[in-house]
Amino acid sequence: MKEISIDDFLDSIGNVKGINKDEIKKKYNSLESYEEKQEYMKKLLAQAEARYKDLKARKSKEERATRTRRLIQIGGLVESVMGREYPEEEQDVLREQLYLLKDCEELFDTRTQIGEVAERILGRSFESGDIQRFQNFLLGQEQRGGYYSNAMNS
């Protein structure tokens, strides 16, 4: 293992609240043997690792609390919109309904994208009767030689 000076070690930990670098350096320099200095640095490293784990655990706890709060709010929103509570035995049904809703949302997004492309090519927004004219146009392309399906399936 590469030997590291106390100055390099202290520089590597940066400015951390609760760490007095001058005291650490003074204590380190007061030690006589290489073994004592090595043990002291191991102790400092273990303390730094413990602080890191503590900070990581606190962050994880905060993230869980934030997620829990969000889930509670979503549950309240669902019950508010639906106008009733969902007891535990009905939650599977609700879950299935939400998956269906997700599928509908994906289908709606696809249809919206198709409409946006058609409007961009048309150069204007669809107006009353345009969708029927668009459908008739595509059907005509199919009757004349399957142009639409050939283009989309190639």
For residue 18, the model assigns a pLDDT of 67
Whether 113 and 135 share a structural domain:
no
Q: What is the reported pLDDT for 105?
A: 87
Answer yes or no: is 139 within a domain. yes
Domain count for the chain: 3
Q: List the one residue out of 23, 16, 3 whose CA is nearest residue 48.
A: 16
Range of the domain at 115: 90-123
CA of 42: how far to CAs of 16, 27, 29, 48, 93, in Å?
Answer: 18, 14, 15, 10, 56
Q: Tell me if 28 is assigned to some domain.
A: yes
| In a shared domain, residues 72 and 97 | no
End position of a domain, from candidates 82, 114, 134: 82
Contact 69, 77 (CB under 8 A): no
105 and 45 part of one domain: no
Residue 95 is assigned to a structural domain of this protein: yes
Q: What is the pLDDT of residues 10-33, one digit of tens each?
A: 776 666 666 777 888 888 888 888
Q: Which amino acid is at 64?
A: R
pLDDT given for residue 108 in this prediction: 87
Please report whether residue 101 resides in a domain: yes
Give yes or no: residues 144 and 99 share one domain. no
The pLDDT score that the predictor gives to residue 37 is 86
Residue 30 and residue 58 in one domain: yes
Q: What is the pLDDT of residues 114-146, one digit of tens each?
A: 889 999 999 999 899 998 999 999 999 999 999
Q: What is the pLDDT of residues 27-81, one digit of tens each?
A: 888 888 889 888 888 888 888 888 889 999 999 999 999 999 999 998 888 888 8
Give the model's pLDDT for residue 14.
62
pLDDT at position 140 is: 92
Domain assignment of residue 131, yes or no: yes
Answer yes or no: is 76 within a domain: yes
In whole angstroms, what is the distance from residue 139 CA to residue 137 CA? 5
User: Is the residue at 1 inside a domain?
Assistant: no
pLDDT in tens, 89-118: 888 888 888 888 888 888 888 889 988 999
Cα–Cα distance between 142 and 148 in angstroms, integer?
6
**Dihedral sign, CA of 61, 65, 67, 68?**
positive
